[in-house]
A and B are shown apart, each in its own frame.
Chain A
Amino acid sequence: MQKSLHIEAAKCTGCLQCELACSYEHTGAFNPSRSYIKVFNFHHEGRFAPYTCTQCDEAWCQRACPVDAISIDVRTGAKVISDSSCVGCKVCTIACPFGTVNYSQVTGKVVKCDLCGGDPECARACPTGAITYIDADWTGYSRMQKSAARSLPAAEASAS
């Protein structure tokens, strides 16, 4: 079964545990500035939004790469960067419509979410369930269920 990261921004408190976990997994230090998942704080709206790569099936980054440094991890579907092939040209960072592939000055390569090989540390660290790792076919399941509940007459919904 292919799984996806599923982000419910409304549950996010902005604590950055996901950034800490991601950066430790990938760099060996607690360093939010090198996390592949970022939490954005929309202060005046009182809202937070964790954001990272959605692992497009037909990935712009992969198609743009001139040296075939981006491949598919067949176990997870993640698009992963090969550091030995990446030349740091940054074309993939331009190609990605979501901004989730970025260049790292520290390594001279591009970096992006690799789903931690199938057990994403961000989801493990999230204390509120804002980030989960679930069946890729059913990322809409919980919202669909809520909508279904709203479609019922009031008495039936409360009885369910």
Chain B
Amino acid sequence: MSWTRKILRVNLTQGTCTPEPLNMQWANDYLGQRGLATKYLCEEIDPKCDPLSPENKMIMATGPLTGTMASTAGRYSVITKGPLTNAIACSNSGGFLGNEFKNAGWDMIIFEGKSPEPVYLWISNDQVELRSAAAIWGKSAWETDDILHQIHQDPQIRVACVGRTAETGCLYSGIINDKHRAAGRSGVGTVMASKNLKAVAVRGTLGVGNVRDFGKFMSAVNDAKKVLADNAVTGQGLPAYGTQVLMNVMNGVGGLPSYNMKNVGFEGAQNISGEAMHEPRASDGKANLTTNAACFGCTIACGRISTVDKTHFTIENKPQYWGASGGLEYESAWSLGADTGIDDLNTITFVNFLCNEDGFDPISYGCTVAAAMEMFEAGDLTLEDTGGIELRFGSSEAFVQATEALVSGQGFGKDLGLGSKRLCEKYGRPELSMQVKGLEFPAYDPRGLQGIGLNYATSNRGACHVRGYTVASEILGIPVKTEQTATEGKAELVKAFQDATALVDSAGLCLFTTFAWGMDNIAPQVDGACEGDWTVEKCLEVGERIWNLERQFNNDAGFTSNDDKLPRRMLEEAIKGGPTDGQVNRLGEMLPKYYEIRGWTDKGEITAETKARLSL
């Protein structure tokens, strides 16, 4: 089993909390977390609804492995219709929240409606209630976490909450748990705040015990842990450098974009790399990196815990930032650093702290600032527009001022909260927004890596690397090396990664295991834990079904093949210099093939035949 077979329905309009049995037929078809919650969402909301209206619902979901001893099995996801994209949104977080939900006895929580007053949900096993959020509304995510611990007088509760930017409508606000883990992308925090829901505080002590075949499960779990330990990426590279192991690698292969993706290659990459985080500072002799850290049950431990130099201008009179907290990962180091042209490790670590403190997506935020910087330098944005901020590439001072403006929710901060697509449209330069379906690009240039371009264009939640991480194959040779600048075979590669990832997410595992694990490592763990015959083939079929269900939601919401596209810069402005000199993304060579192998029409619609094959 492993599912608790119980879901909690919270009607915020009426203030009711009602347990329901889990639909086990759907669990068999969609496994859990991302897949299963998407099924519930598709059955329960109108895909055309306004994402910030009470008609939208928000689901927090665990997977069947969440809370077990499988490595990395502590994850949960938030599934809703996203305000940045108007597409399906699914945002995944580690830390220690998912396992606490599961230990409290719940597979998922469905939030519907809108509370008349700010509230938070308190869960203590099967005792569940909505309480007034008067003491925490208007507070940062860090303060909210501290206050809820004080109120409940229990150091062992876990808190997921939104910060101030979600309350003031920033469209890429996330949900923070454990102070520095985040369901960060797609604006799921903005949806949560729109429902007047500030936080969920959980204490679960029931245990996760209903594993189908314990001997089989533990045997698969132990084998799989050994695979992680013996693999160079998951056993050595990620613990030592985190995902930041990629900064110098990507720069070296012509895949690291910079300056709002005008360029590929960043001259300051070394200064903001994983290696630089280990180097002692001149001022205090300490390195940026204090330690690596694991999420629940994770035997990789890629997390970064960092400090900012106390003498740095960003924090010199702010002791609240002098302690250690969640540090830079590759994506945030790129978006807050290379994309804005800033190579000061202290500045971007500090801005990353602020992203955690108030719960906004560092990828979307960095990209939005980068687009604003390009518009400022081109004269499309004036000092009057920015409230006096000299928003030039490479300026740490301007970046910190912009971040403070965003957190305030006032003036130019309001503009920055729109995300790059709406911001660039507002100031007349829509082509300068590096996004797909409204979601900003992550840290890999689609001109230098053809497959990742196709994945961005077709990703159901907009431009996203963790929907089909072809970087593994195109750069790292996992599971096999493909030529990064070739388009042949990329449609098949993207489909394979997208389907497998949907399954990994839906099990409750971390995608980073797949640097070492194949489906032949994952399926036996699911099979040992869950009822049903979870072969590799079934896992891949479920992954493909989930992908198509998400696509169907988007099509029903009004998306078409016209939305499976990349910005003009990626298609027409060739890379100048470096290992990928002269490259553009050749999406047109890959997209028709991708539709064909997915069993979709040339307009990107799912054919009746494909729906029948996947029992959609």
Tell me whether B323 is interfacial, beta carbon within 8 Å. Answer: yes
Query: What B residues does A44 contact at CB under 8 A?
Result: 323-325
Tell me whether A24 is interfacial, beta carbon within 8 Å. Answer: yes
Query: What A residues does B291 contact at CB under 8 A?
Result: 13, 46-48
With A32-B103, A46-B293, A127-B229 known as contacts, the answer to whether A17 contacts B323 (CB < 8 A) is no
Tell me whether A62 is interfacial, beta carbon within 8 Å. Answer: no
B218-262 CB mask vs A (1 if < 8 Å, else 0) is 000000010001000000000100000000000000000000000
Cβ contact of B205, chosen from A15, A33, A46, cutoff 8 A? A33
Q: Taking the nearest CB of chain B, how far is it from the CB of A59, in angstroms? A: 26
Tell me whether B192 is interfacial, beta carbon within 8 Å. Answer: no
Docked complex: B267-323 residues within 8 A CB-CB of A: 290-299, 301, 303, 305-307, 323
Tell me whether A5 is interfacial, beta carbon within 8 Å. Answer: no
With A14-B294, A15-B296, A24-B69 known as contacts, the answer to whether A33 contacts B323 (CB < 8 A) is no
Query: What A residues does B345 contact at CB under 8 A?
Result: none
Tell me whether A37 is interfacial, beta carbon within 8 Å. Answer: no
Query: What B residues does A23 contact at CB under 8 A?
Result: 207
The docked-state distance in angstroms from the alpha carbon of A114 to that of B225 is 26
How large, as a class, is the contact surface on chain A?
Answer: 20 to 34
Query: What A residues does B209 contact at CB under 8 A?
Result: 27-31
Tell me whether B34 is interfacial, beta carbon within 8 Å. Answer: no
Tell me whether A125 is interfacial, beta carbon within 8 Å. Answer: yes
A28-54 CB mask vs B (1 if < 8 Å, else 0) is 111111100000000111111000000
Tell me whether A20 is interfacial, beta carbon within 8 Å. Answer: yes
The docked-state distance in angstroms from the alpha carbon of A29 to that of B209 is 4
Tell me whether B206 is interfacial, beta carbon within 8 Å. Answer: yes
Cβ contact of B299, chosen from A15, A24, A29, cutoff 8 A? A15
Check if B323 sits within 8 Å of A21, measured CB to CB. Answer: no
Tell me whether B208 is interfacial, beta carbon within 8 Å. Answer: yes
Check if B292 sits within 8 Å of A43, measured CB to CB. Answer: no
Tell me whether B204 is interfacial, beta carbon within 8 Å. Answer: yes
Query: What B residues does A16 contact at CB under 8 A?
Result: 96, 294, 296-297
The docked-state distance in angstroms from the alpha carbon of A27 to that of B209 is 9
Tell me whether A128 is interfacial, beta carbon within 8 Å. Answer: yes
Q: Taking the nearest CB of chain A, how far is it from the CB of B344, in angstroms? A: 21
Q: Taking the nearest CB of chain A, how far is it from the CB of B281, in angstroms? A: 15
The docked-state distance in angstroms from the alpha carbon of A27 to that of B205 is 12
Check if A15 sits within 8 Å of B103, measured CB to CB. Answer: no
Closest Cβ neighbor of A127 among chain B residues: B299
Cβ contact of A13, chosen from B204, B294, B306, cutoff 8 A? B294
Query: What B residues does A30 contact at CB under 8 A?
Result: 67-69, 207-209
Check if A15 sits within 8 Å of B298, measured CB to CB. Answer: yes
Query: What B residues does A128 contact at CB under 8 A?
Result: 301
Query: What B residues does A48 contact at CB under 8 A?
Result: 291, 293
Q: Taking the nearest CB of chain A, how far is it from the CB of B537, in angstroms? A: 28
With A30-B68, A43-B325, A45-B323 known as contacts, the answer to whether A13 contacts B208 (CB < 8 A) is no
The docked-state distance in angstroms from the alpha carbon of A128 to that of B292 is 12
Count the A-B residue pairs with Cβ separation under 8 angstroms: how many? Answer: 86
The docked-state distance in angstroms from the alpha carbon of A16 to that of B209 is 17
Q: Taking the nearest CB of chain B, how far is it from the CB of A48, in angstroms? A: 7
The docked-state distance in angstroms from the alpha carbon of A35 to that of B345 is 39
Q: Taking the nearest CB of chain A, how far is it from the CB of B209, in angstroms? A: 3
Check if A14 sits within 8 Å of B207, measured CB to CB. Answer: no
Q: Taking the nearest CB of chain A, how far is it from the CB of B565, in angstroms? A: 41
Query: What A residues does B206 contact at CB under 8 A?
Result: 29, 31
Query: What B residues does A20 contact at CB under 8 A?
Result: 68-69, 297
The docked-state distance in angstroms from the alpha carbon of A125 to that of B295 is 15
Check if B299 sits within 8 Å of A17, measured CB to CB. Answer: yes
Most buried by B among A28, A46, A47: A46
Closest Cβ neighbor of A128 among chain B residues: B301
Tell me whether B179 is interfacial, beta carbon within 8 Å. Answer: yes
Query: What A residues does B18 contact at CB under 8 A?
Result: none
The docked-state distance in angstroms from the alpha carbon of A127 to that of B298 is 9
Query: What A residues does B14 contact at CB under 8 A?
Result: none
The docked-state distance in angstroms from the alpha carbon of A20 to that of B305 is 23
The docked-state distance in angstroms from the alpha carbon of A17 to that of B224 is 14
Query: What A residues does B290 contact at CB under 8 A?
Result: 45-46
Q: Taking the nearest CB of chain A, how far is it from the CB of B299, in angstroms? A: 4
Check if A15 sits within 8 Å of B324, measured CB to CB. Answer: no
Check if B298 sits within 8 Å of A43, measured CB to CB. Answer: no
Closest Cβ neighbor of B305 among chain A residues: A46
The docked-state distance in angstroms from the alpha carbon of A124 to that of B96 is 22
Query: What A residues does B292 contact at CB under 8 A?
Result: 13
Closest Cβ neighbor of B69 among chain A residues: A20
The docked-state distance in angstroms from the alpha carbon of A48 to that of B324 is 12
Cβ contact of B294, chosen from A15, A27, A43, cutoff 8 A? A15
Cβ contact of A29, chosen from B99, B207, B324, cutoff 8 A? B207
Tell me whether B53 is interfacial, beta carbon within 8 Å. Answer: no
With A17-B69, A24-B69, A43-B324 known as contacts, the answer to whether A34 contacts B293 (CB < 8 A) is no
Query: What B residues does A45 contact at CB under 8 A?
Result: 290, 323-324
Q: Taking the nearest CB of chain A, how far is it from the CB of B266, in angstroms? A: 28
Q: Taking the nearest CB of chain B, how far is it from the CB of A117, in angstroms? A: 18
Docked complex: A125-160 residues within 8 A CB-CB of B: 125, 127-128
Most buried by B among A27, A31, A125: A31
Query: What A residues does B205 contact at CB under 8 A?
Result: 31, 33-34
Query: What A residues does B207 contact at CB under 8 A?
Result: 23, 27, 29-31, 33-34
Q: Taking the nearest CB of chain B, how far is it from the CB of A49, in angstroms? A: 12
Tell me whether B410 is interfacial, beta carbon within 8 Å. Answer: no
The docked-state distance in angstroms from the alpha carbon of A23 to that of B206 is 11
The docked-state distance in angstroms from the alpha carbon of A45 to that of B67 is 26
Q: Taking the nearest CB of chain B, how far is it from the CB of A122, in angstroms? A: 12
Query: What A residues does B408 contact at CB under 8 A?
Result: none
Q: Taking the nearest CB of chain A, how far is it from the CB of B76, in angstroms? A: 16
Check if B297 sits within 8 Å of A17, measured CB to CB. Answer: yes
The docked-state distance in angstroms from the alpha carbon of A32 to that of B323 is 27
Q: Taking the nearest CB of chain A, how far is it from the CB of B608, in angstroms? A: 43
Closest Cβ neighbor of B301 among chain A residues: A13
Check if B229 sits within 8 Å of A33, measured CB to CB. Answer: no
The docked-state distance in angstroms from the alpha carbon of A41 to that of B299 is 17
Tell me whether B156 is interfacial, beta carbon within 8 Å. Answer: yes
User: Contact residues of B with A, CB < 8 Å?
Assistant: 67-69, 71, 96, 99, 103, 156, 179, 204-209, 225, 229, 239, 290-299, 301, 303, 305-307, 323-325
User: Contact residues of A with B, CB < 8 Å?
Assistant: 13-17, 20-21, 23-24, 27-34, 43-48, 125, 127-128
10 sample A-B contacts, Cβ–Cβ < 8 Å, listed by A number: A14-B293, A15-B297, A16-B96, A20-B297, A31-B208, A44-B324, A45-B324, A46-B293, A48-B293, A125-B69
Could you list 9 further interchain pairs (A-B, Cβ under 8 angstroms) beyond the known A30-B69, A45-B324?
A15-B295, A15-B297, A17-B299, A33-B204, A34-B205, A43-B179, A43-B323, A43-B325, A127-B225
Report the 10 A-B pairs with minimum CB-CB distance, sorted nearest first: A31-B207, A29-B209, A29-B207, A44-B323, A46-B290, A46-B324, A15-B294, A13-B301, A127-B299, A46-B305
